[in-house]
């Protein structure tokens, strides 16, 4: 078998890349380790920057997103027991963000690809990439008990943080930046209406909490917990009372549909390319979810990669492929900064450094009262401009 672009991983990065290449007449094969049911039901974050929605529109995958997505013009910051509205649209010349579950976007892109009869293989085992430093890289895997191989011009490593593509790059060729945080998020999905029209990010003496949503009748709620938190110690009652203390009594309870713990880390691997292997999305970088940037960063990488591959396959040379990593990393680091900043500002640190604590309180107070500071938050939150 042969194709132009072999794509490892059918998350937002791999699926969007495949679709945008298809629009440009470039062939791709997508290989996914898990089952279709698994990737379609995996609950992840769900906030899209304005530019991410526009990108999905241009890619022709935003039909249901426009019907079911919830458009937000602002958010609420809550600290010292009081709410402070951040007018995202007013501060950014009318930009908005959209709430739409990541797995819904994934479902839409899978359905579109399969309906078009384009190659997307689920439940493939033992995926490995070979000869990545040559002009004829290869992917091998096992499927239905058989060994398979795919010759490619280029391989896109879209296989997330735990994938095989990044570890296939010689360690000496990569520089890794990694920061673990001393806390995690316990997240629930609940059949209950959102506590307010807009997201509420709360800083509380007990720890951070976030009230977000998936629809007008389903809430998504998070609370700061220990990195090794034992979920079985959290009865539904304990979760609701912790959330109400942090978010306020107006929070309505409902049946909990799902619960899980999300680790928090900041991670970047540089460069995002080795020979003919290009990393995109979580395969190259992870952000803590406080800034809601994971899926948005993946989409930004894909835009840059599509542009570079389009030029390459049109015979316009490798200059954009050579620039891929630096172009992506320029924006990645700005988004890392924002995600780290939101995270450290809003979480409780148990090592209790009284000086830092006071500085954080002062920063929040300054933020709430300064249009300049709020504008900085808003322009990062709705999404920094794309390079291409």
Q: Which does 184 bind (CB under 5 to 8 A by kind): ligand APR, ligand PHB, none?
A: none
* CA 103 centroid distance within chain: 11
With b for 16 or more beta-carbon neighbours within 10 A and e for fewer, the 328-350 pattern comes to bbebbeebbebbbbbbebbbbee
Residue 298 token pair: 């993946």
How far apart CA 23 and CA 59 sit, in angstroms, is: 7
- Burial class, 143, CB count within 10 angstroms (exposed 0-12 / middle 13-18 / buried 19+): middle
**Residue 127 makes contact with ligand APR by CB under 6 A:** yes
Q: Which does 212 bind (CB under 5 to 8 A by kind): ligand APR, ligand PHB, none?
A: ligand PHB
**Residue 98 makes contact with ligand PHB by CB under 6 A:** no
How far apart CA 247 and CA 259 sit, in angstroms, is: 18
Among the listed ranges 11-19, 70-78, 172-180, 266-274, the one in contact with ligand APR (CB under 6 A) is 11-19
Binding mask 209-228 for ligand PHB (x = CB under 6 A): -x-x-------x--------
Instruction: Give yes or no: 193 in active site.
Output: no
Order of strands, sheet of 28-31, starting from the edge strand that comes earlier in the sequence: 120-121, 28-31, 5-8, 154-157, 277-279, 273-274
Contacts of residue 44, defined as CB under 8 A and 6 or more positions apart, other chains included, come to 101, 102, 103, 294, 295
Instruction: Work out which of 51, 137, 160, 291 binds ligand APR, going by CB under 6 A.
Output: 160
Q: Which does 34 bind (CB under 5 to 8 A by kind): ligand PHB, ligand APR, none?
A: ligand APR
Instruction: Give yes or no: 201 in active site.
Output: yes
Shortest distance, CB of residue 236 to ligand APR, whole angstroms?
26
**Residue 65 makes contact with ligand APR by CB under 6 A:** no
State which residue, 20 or 199, has the beta carbon closest to ligand PHB.
199
Among the listed ranges 2-10, 45-53, 228-236, 304-312, the one in contact with ligand PHB (CB under 6 A) is 45-53
Q: What is the dihedral of CA 87, 91, 92, 95, to 10 degrees?
A: 20
State which residue, 107 or 148, has the beta carbon closest to ligand PHB.
107
**Residue 53 makes contact with ligand APR by CB under 6 A:** no
Helix axes 102-115 and 12-23, enclosed angle (nearest 10): 40
Residue 153 token pair: 């011009």
Q: Scanning residues 246 to 305, which ones bind ligand PHB (CB under 6 A)?
A: 289-290, 292
Q: How many helices (H) and strands (E) does the chain have?
A: 12, 20
**Residue 142 makes contact with ligand APR by CB under 6 A:** no
Instruction: Give yes or no: 100 in active site.
Output: no
| Three-state helix/strand/coil letters over 90-108 | HHCCCCCEEECCHHHHHHH
Shortest distance, CB of residue 44 to ligand APR, whole angstroms?
5
Q: Please give the residue ranges that form the binding site for ligand PHB (CB under 6 A).
A: 45-47, 99, 199, 210, 212, 220, 289-290, 292
The residues annotated with a catalytic role in the active site are 72, 201, 289, 293, 381
């Amino acid at each position: 078998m042969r194709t132009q672009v072999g794509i490892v991983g059918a998350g937002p990065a791999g699926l969007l890349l495949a679709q945008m290449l298809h629009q440009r007449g470039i062939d791709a094969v997508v290989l996914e380790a898990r089952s279709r049911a698994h990737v379609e039901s995996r609950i992840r974050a769900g906030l899209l920057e304005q530019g991410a929605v526009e990108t999905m529109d241009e890619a022709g995958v935003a039909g249901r997103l426009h019907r079911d997505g919830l458009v937000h013009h602002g958010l609420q910051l809550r600290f010292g027991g009081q709410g402070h509205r951040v007018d995202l649209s007013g501060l950014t010349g009318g930009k908005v963000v959209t709430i739409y579950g990541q797995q819904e976007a994934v479902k839409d892109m899978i359905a579109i690809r399969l309906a078009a009869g384009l190659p997307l293989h689920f439940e493939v085992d033992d995926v490995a990439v070979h000869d990545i430093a040559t002009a004829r890289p290869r992917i091998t895997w096992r499927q239905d008990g058989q060994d398979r191989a795919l010759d490619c011009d280029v391989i896109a490593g879209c296989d997330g943080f735990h994938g095989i593509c990044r570890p296939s790059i010689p360690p000496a060729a990569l520089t890794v930046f990694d920061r673990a945080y001393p806390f995690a998020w316990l997240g629930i999905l609940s059949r209950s209406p959102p506590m307010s029209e807009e997201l509420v990010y709360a800083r509380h003496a007990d720890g951070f909490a976030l009230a977000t949503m998936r629809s007008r009748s389903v809430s998504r709620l998070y609370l700061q917990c220990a990195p090794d938190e034992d979920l079985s110690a959290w009865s539904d009652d304990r979760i609701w009372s912790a959330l109400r203390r942090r978010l306020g009594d107006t929070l309505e309870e409902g049946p909990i549909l799902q619960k899980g713990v999300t680790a928090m880390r900041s991670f970047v691997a540089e460069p995002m390319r080795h020979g003919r292997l290009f990393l995109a999305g979580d395969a190259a970088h992870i952000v803590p979810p406080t800034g809601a940037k994971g899926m948005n960063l993946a989409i930004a990488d894909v835009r840059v990669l599509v542009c570079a591959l389009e030029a390459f396959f049109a015979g316009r040379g490798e200059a954009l492929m050579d620039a891929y990593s630096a172009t992506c990393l320029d924006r990645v680091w700005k988004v890392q900064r924002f995600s780290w900043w939101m995270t450290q500002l809003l979480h409780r640190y148990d090592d209790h450094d009284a000086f830092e604590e006071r500085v954080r309180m002062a920063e929040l107070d300054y933020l709430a009262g300064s249009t300049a500071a709020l504008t900085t938050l808003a322009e990062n939150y709705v999404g920094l401009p794309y390079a291409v």
